[in-house]
């Protein structure tokens, strides 16, 4: 049986947190899709192509976590903006709690690994 190569850790971690980050990004400031892509691109660890972000936004909308509206643009056609729904706020809060709980649980193991690496 062929040996499976381990997945890129950053890629796997990013997939798991991208939804939470997008909800946090638009929680208080609705944005259009390209703006969301650009904001995420500002941090290399979160940079994701439009081909990843737009399907995520569609899924969030289908799940009732975000809603959209159209707004005129000064530099071209109207843009579709995304904003968090009340259900989205609740889901984001749950995600943040789960993320913090997971980080607290994992952190001691990372510290052990750092100590062993420097020993």
Average pLDDT of span 2-6: 49
Q: Is the pLDDT of residue 1 over 60?
A: no
Q: 8-30, pLDDT tens digit by residue?
A: 666 667 777 999 999 999 999 99
pLDDT in tens, 67-93: 999 999 999 999 999 999 999 999 999
Strands 31-32 and 66-73: unpaired
- What is residue 7's predicted lDDT score, i.e. its pLDDT? 54
pLDDT score of 10:
64
Angle between helices 33-41 and 9-26 (to 10 degrees): 130
Domains parsed from the chain with CATH numbers: 9-118 (1.10.10.10)
Q: What is the pLDDT of residue 25?
A: 95
Write b or e for each residue in 17-31: b if 16 or more Cβ atoms lie within 10 A of its Cβ, otherwise e.
ebbbbbbebbeeebb
User: For position 78, what pLDDT does the model report?
Assistant: 96
């Amino acid at each position: 049986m062929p040996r499976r190569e381990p997945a890129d850790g950053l890629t796997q971690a990013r997939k798991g947190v991208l939804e939470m980050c997008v909800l946090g990004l638009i929680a208080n400031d609705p944005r259009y899709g390209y703006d969301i892509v650009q904001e995420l691109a500002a941090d290399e660890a979160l940079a994701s192509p439009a081909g990843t972000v737009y399907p995520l936004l569609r899924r969030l909308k289908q799940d009732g976590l975000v809603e959209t509206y159209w707004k005129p643009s000064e530099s071209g056609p109207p843009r579709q903006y995304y904003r968090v729904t009340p259900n989205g706020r609740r889901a984001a809060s749950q995600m943040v709690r789960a993320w913090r709980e997971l980080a607290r649980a994992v952190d001691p193991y990372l510290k052990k690994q750092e100590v062993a690496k420097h020993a």
